[in-house]
Structures are given as C-alpha cells and as structure tokens.
C-alpha cells in the first residue's frame, strides 16, 4: 500500500492554538486528580440499558466542570460530550469541543488502572488541539496542529519504520461485543508474530500508537468524543489514520485504523480480510 501524504492542515490563529492548548491541559490535570482520587473507591455507578455500560458521578462532575470552563474561556464554541450531549451549534461556528470525561468507565469502576480523560478542539479538517490524561501513569499527553506531541512536556515521535513483527496492536470490542471477523483478525496477527491487546479504552488504545508503544490500533466502531483527543496525538506523531477501505481520514465514519506507516498495510489487510 502506498500511503498518500495528507492534505495541508487548515491554518489556525496561533493565539487560539496556544490558549486552547493551555486550557485543555489544565482541564486534563484537573480530571487526572479527580480520577485517581476516586477510582474504585466510592464511585457511584448508574447503569444504562446495558448493565455493563456504566456512567458515574465522576463522569457527570468532570463533564460539568469541563463545560463551565470552556464556556467561560471560549464562549460561542459548542461542546459535544458523552453524558449531556451537544450544545446548540451556533450558525457558522467554525470550531467545536469534544470531551469524554472518563473513557474506560468500566475499568474505572472496577479499579483497573486503564482509563482516560479526553478533550479536543475540532474544526472541519479534524483535531486542532487534543489532550489525553492517563491518570494512573501520571501522564498528560498533548498535541496541537503543527506543533507535535508531548508527554508531560517531553516531545514524542513514533518510529515510522516500526512494523508488525514483534509489535503490539490494540483493538477494542464494539458495544455489542466482538466485531465480525475479530477472531480471524487476531489469528492473522498471531501468524505475523504480533500481539493483540483489548484493554477497554479507545482513547488510550490510539494514544499507544502515538506514543510508540503499539504499532497499530483498530476500532471497528467508535464515538468521536472517545478518540478525538488521541487522534490529535496520532496525527502529530506521524501515524497513519485510515478508514476500513484504506483511505486517509482524520475521523473515519465507519471504524478506523491508526498505525505506524510501516505497519499500516499489514494491519489493514487483516482488518479487511477478517471483516
């Protein structure tokens, strides 16, 4: 597969970029403190129609706090979030915020140390700024268009030559369980000496590619607020983002593959073959 270079990103006013990055980072730090203080210790889950689809007081608290801060700092930019939906979209609004206060809520409720807070500022071309708080590792991952990715302030860039052999691919279940062909996908990966991990947070799955810990992440379905922050990281790290047909998209409509350039073709073929 020949990877087509991405289109030049839309320019963003530098002052807005810097301010959005600073505010988003502050909110991510707030969220990390709350999550680590409460996870598995007195969380009050409320189940939805699916008993495994949790929502907690922490989800509500963090989303409300995020909305309050963003409304004050960026009036007129709508916020779209998991728990309380979307604000009215002002006519002609150029930007929108996407937030998932706790991605991996079932892990959070159980006290399993694998969940995240995700926040991104979006325009028509995709993420402008993205942050992901990884509370249990004490890490804040942040990226802004054209400015690269940082983990706790230290620059990060993936190895474009990292291939599938000996690597890790992150995958996630759909809301209904394994996606069609997931078993065949795992078998193909194993035959290529590649490990597959299903850990329960779409945001952190994609972030692992951006950070160079995994060579790919496959999400057969997802909600945009789950991954918008980590997609910003992936784009700035040099990862390839493809839909299931192999086309470059920043937020594909029907599942996504995020991979190192060297791993993208192999993992895409497993995904397409499995499906």
Cα 204 from chain centroid (whole Å): 6
Nearest-angstrom CA–CA distance, 236 and 149? 6
Nearest-angstrom CA–CA distance, 213 and 191? 20
Residue 122 and residue 128 in contact, taking contact as beta carbons nearer than 8 Å: yes
Return the H-helix or E-strand segment holding 59: helix 57-73
118 Cβ contact list (under 8 Å, min separation 6): 98, 99, 100, 103, 130, 131, 132, 133, 203, 225, 226, 227, 228, 229, 230
Question: Residues within the annotated binding site for Mg(2+)?
Answer: 82, 100, 103, 226
Residue with structure tokens 């203080």? 37
15 Cβ contact list (under 8 Å, min separation 6): none
Residue with structure tokens 């140390």? 113
Nearest-angstrom CA–CA distance, 64 and 207? 25
Cβ of 107: how many Cβ atoms within 10 Å?
22
Cβ of 26: how many Cβ atoms within 10 Å?
14
Residue with structure tokens 């922490």? 58
Question: Residues within the annotated binding site?
Answer: 82, 100, 103, 226
């Amino acid at each position: 597969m020949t990877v087509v270079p991405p289109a030049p990103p839309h320019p963003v006013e530098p002052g807005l970029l810097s301010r959005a990055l600073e505010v988003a980072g502050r909110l991510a730090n707030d969220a990390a403190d709350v999550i680590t203080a409460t996870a598995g210790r007195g969380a009050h889950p409320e189940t939805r129609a699916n008993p495994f689809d949790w929502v907690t007081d922490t989800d509500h608290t963090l989303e409300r706090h995020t909305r309050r801060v963003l409304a004050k700092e960026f009036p007129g930019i709508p916020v779209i979030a998991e728990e309380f939906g979307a604000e009215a979209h002002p006519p002609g609004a150029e930007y929108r915020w996407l937030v998932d206060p706790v991605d991996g809520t079932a892990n959070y409720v159980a006290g399993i140390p694998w969940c995240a807070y995700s926040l991104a500022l979006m325009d028509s071309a995709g993420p402008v700024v993205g942050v992901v708080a990884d509370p249990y590792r004490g890490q804040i991952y942040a990226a802004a268009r054209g400015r690269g990715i940082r983990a706790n302030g230290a620059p990060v860039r993936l190895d474009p030559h990292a291939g599938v052999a000996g690597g890790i691919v992150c995958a996630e279940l759909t809301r209904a369980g394994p996606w069609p062909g997931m078993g065949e996908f795992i078998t193909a990966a194993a035959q290529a000496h590649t490990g597959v991990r299903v850990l329960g947070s779409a945001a952190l799955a994609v972030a692992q590619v951006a950070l160079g810990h995994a060579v790919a992440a496959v999400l057969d379905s997802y909600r945009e607020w789950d991954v918008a922050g980590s997609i910003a990281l992936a784009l700035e790290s040099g990862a390839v983002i493809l839909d299931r047909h192999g086309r470059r998209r920043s937020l594909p409509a029907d599942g996504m593959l995020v991979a190192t350039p060297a791993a993208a073709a192999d993992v895409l073929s497993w995904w397409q073959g499995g499906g």
